[in-house]
Structure 1
Amino acid sequence: MRNVTQARPTPSASTAPRALARLGLLLPHLFVLGMCAVLLGGFVFQFGLGEAPCPLCMLQRMGMMLTAMGPAWIIAKSRNGAISQADYAAGFGLSAITGLLSAVISGRQVLLHIAPTDPGFDTALMGLHLYTWALITFFIAALVCGGAALFAEELSPGTVRCSTASKAVLCVFAVFIAANLLSCFTEQGFHWLLPHRPDGYRLFG
């Protein structure tokens, strides 16, 4: 009696690239939404706990928005019907650089409060202050963006269409940009500089 061995189905050569392309298209969406979630956490502390952000905190928020600009630009490129490898590498590469530069701002604030007797600025979350979490966020963002840029050839989606989900992500990001600009304006008012330890909104008195 012959032994009939059934050959296991092997994925076609095009299956893996298609899966990577889908992952490559999903990644910038998740990145932008992740940064928006971090910014939302900052608003919770600002308005829920009454802790107005200091100038360094505002710079870190700006750094988060700038770091999300690269992936947002990649999503916007889908309106042209295609996202090339060069577009993908440029968007995430720029964000990797921005993330590392923004980490310097967070590191500066960490060093300002690194003394054991210093209570730090704002309420701690799981034992760490927000500027420490921002430093961690920027390092993770730089690693993700650097990895995405490194594997841009495998991850670049190629021919795509700008879906409703893509437009929604860009709209959410635009709302957070506008909200942070409005927040900064109400806190600073018509003064040249933000106070070192803000205790209110100078636009209103």
Structure 2
Amino acid sequence: MQTRRSEHPLWSLWLRVELAIQHLCVLGICGVLLGAFWVQFAQGEYPCPLCLLQRMAMIMTAVGSIFIITHGHLARIQGFSVIGLGYGMSVLAALVGMLISARQVLLHIEPGDPGYGSPMLGLHLYTWALIVFLTVILVSGIMLIFGRDPELHRHRFRSADGQDATPAGSRLPWYSWCTFCIFGVIILANAVSAFAEAGFNAYLPDNPTSYLLFE
């Protein structure tokens, strides 16, 4: 009997690899945002409004990966492809973030302009942000090209006779929940940081020099 594509050992391995990639995408964004926090608190540099918008866009790129992780056991939702929705959210968020970071790069592109903040590894944070957004678009495009069975977790739920035993709400492994918790802490930390910097003001100064909430 011909082995079904979804049951081929190499195909099952690819499903696990893609699941790992989704988690790495989320954790990678968390790592970038932690680096931004290090610059903010260890070096005492306050993020500008464009910096905060770039952080928000990075968070939204990770939401696409989380959507695929949590809904990957489904083929479609309301007629829409789960994979298309997830990567689509990541690409759209990355495009918005790319426009924001590119604008900040162009603001300081004039020769002799020192830029905003201190460089890290030779580049300013907004330049690194532009690279991150371009990487998200590239990875999303590659993952869309190498399409797969959208039932990401289906191989995890097989009964003894080989029948599908996927529950209505697909269970997630412990490392997925750990990833979600880390991501949630990062979101909360960004929200608290932005609120402390802006306080109850409607607008944040172009070049903030203090946490307005405590003034």
Question: What corresponds to 2:181 in structure 1?
Answer: 171
What is the TM-score of this pair, normalised by structure 2? 0.84
Q: Which residue matches 1:125?
A: 120
Partner of 2:75: 84
Q: Please state if 1:73 is matched with 2:73.
A: no
**Helix, strand or coil at the partner of 2:115:** coil
Match of 1:139 in 2: 134
Query: What CA deviation, in whole Å up to 9, does each residue of 1:68-126 have, x standing for no partner?
Result: 11001122226xxx243721232012201211221000000000000111000011012
The aligned counterpart of 1:182 is 192
Give 4+ residue runs of structure 1 displaced > 6 Å after superposition. Answer: none
Task: Find out whether 1:34 has 2:28 as its counterpart.
Answer: yes
DSSP 3-state at the match of 1:152: coil
Structure with the greater alpha carbon radius of gyration: 1
Q: Is the 8 A contact 2:82 2:150 kept in 1?
A: no
In structure 1, what is the equivalent of residue 49 of structure 2? Answer: 55
Q: Which residue of the partner structure matches residue 115 of structure 1?
A: 110
CA apart distance, 1:133: 0.4
CA distance in 2, matches of 1:36, 1:193: 26
**Residues 23 and 179, structure 2, Cα contact 8 Å, conserved in 1:** yes
CA distance in structure 2 between the partners assigned to 1:119 and 1:155 by the alignment: 47
What do you get for the CA RMSD once the two structures are aligned?
1.6
Partner Cα distance (1:71, 1:156) in 2: 15
Tell me the amino acid that sits aligned with residue 91 of structure 1: G
State which of 179, 194, 214 in structure 2 corresponds to 1:204.
214
CA distance in 1, matches of 2:120, 2:152: 37
Q: Cα–Cα, structure 1 residues 24 and 84, in superposed 2: closer, same or farther, change >3 Å?
A: farther
Q: Which runs of 5+ in 2 are unaligned?
A: 1-6, 157-170
Cα deviation, 1:3-31, whole Å, max 9, x if unaligned, reads xxxxxxxxxx8122111111111111000
Q: Separation in 2 of the partners of 1:151 and 1:90?
A: 16
Question: Identity across aligned pairs (percent)?
Answer: 44
Structure 1 residue 156, shift from structure 2 partner: 5.5
Give the Å deviation of 1:34.
0.2
Alpha-carbon shift at residue 153 of structure 1 (Å) = 2.1
The counterpart of 1:194, out of the listed 200, 204, 215, is 204
Cα distance between partner residues in 1 of 2:74 and 2:141: 18
Query: Which structure 1 residue ranges, 5 or more long, are not aligned?
Result: 1-12
Identify, as 1 or 2, the structure richer in helix.
1
2:143 paired residue number: 148
Contact between 2:90 and 2:140, CA under 8 Å: does it hold in 1?
yes
TM-score by length of 1: 0.88
